[in-house]
Structure 1
Amino acid sequence: MTDKKQAKDCADMLQAIAEPNRIRIIECLRTGSMNVTQLAKALSVEIVNVSHHLGVLRTAGLVQDEKNGRFVVYSLHPKIFNNDNNKATHLDLGWCRIEIPHN
């Protein structure tokens, strides 16, 4: 049986993912780190909207950020997505997994 904290953490992550642009951001970050401008261009979404969605994903522990010169780059958190040799086929949310197809 899953403990309450683990269930809450998983529910919080699922809630954060449950938005089309956030799913698209996760898809973009599967291939590697990107900054907000790169994501906005790839998704044809305003920078301010991408920043908002990244904040939600970061708060939920799904993405991490790192300062790289003048830019902040974002990547999927390794605890939920391990992209060794592009073989990862799922997001691991602890209590549940979300299968994701390779393109």
Structure 2
Amino acid sequence: MKKKLEYELCATRLKALADPDRLRIVEQLFQGAMNVSDLSEKLGEEIVKISHHLGVLRHAQVVQSQKQGRFVIYQLHPDVVACGQEATETQTRRIDFGCCSLDLDQS
């Protein structure tokens, strides 16, 4: 049986993904690591909005960040990506939280 803390982390991650903008960010990160400016451009949203959502995703341990020079690069956290890190159009992208998983099909 899983511990209470494992369920709490899973619930936190699910709450973080319960926003359409954050789901769009996660979908983009399946293409590879990006900085806030790249994500902003690809999604057609303001940098401040993308930055806020990345903070929520980072706090929930859905994404991780790494400083490279004057940029912060974001990528999906390796503990939650089950398959499809470099997804093709026919591949299912899956996020596995341990207690449950989400399939983000490209349709």
TM-score (norm 1): 0.91
Match of 1:97 in 2: 101
Distance 1:88 1:77, change over 3 A: farther
Shift of 1:85: 5.6
Q: CA RMSD in A?
A: 1.6
Match of 1:47 in 2: 47
Q: Which has the higher helix share?
A: 1
Would you say the 8 A contact 2:84–2:94 is kept in 1?
no
Partner SS state of residue 31, structure 2: coil
Give % identity.
Answer: 44
Match of 1:24 in 2: 24
Per-residue deviation, residues 43-69 of structure 1 (Å, max 9, x unmatched): 111100100000000000000111112
Per-residue deviation, residues 16-73 of structure 1 (Å, max 9, x unmatched): 0100100000000001000000101111111001000000000000001111122111
Amino acid at match of 2:77: H
The answer for unaligned runs of 5 or more in structure 1 is none
TM-score (norm 2): 0.87
The answer for unaligned runs of 5 or more in structure 2 is none
Q: Summarize the alignment of residues 8-87 of structure 1 with structure 2, pairs less than 5 Å apart.
A: 8-81=8-81, 82-83=83-84, 86=87
Moved over 2 A (4+): 82-89
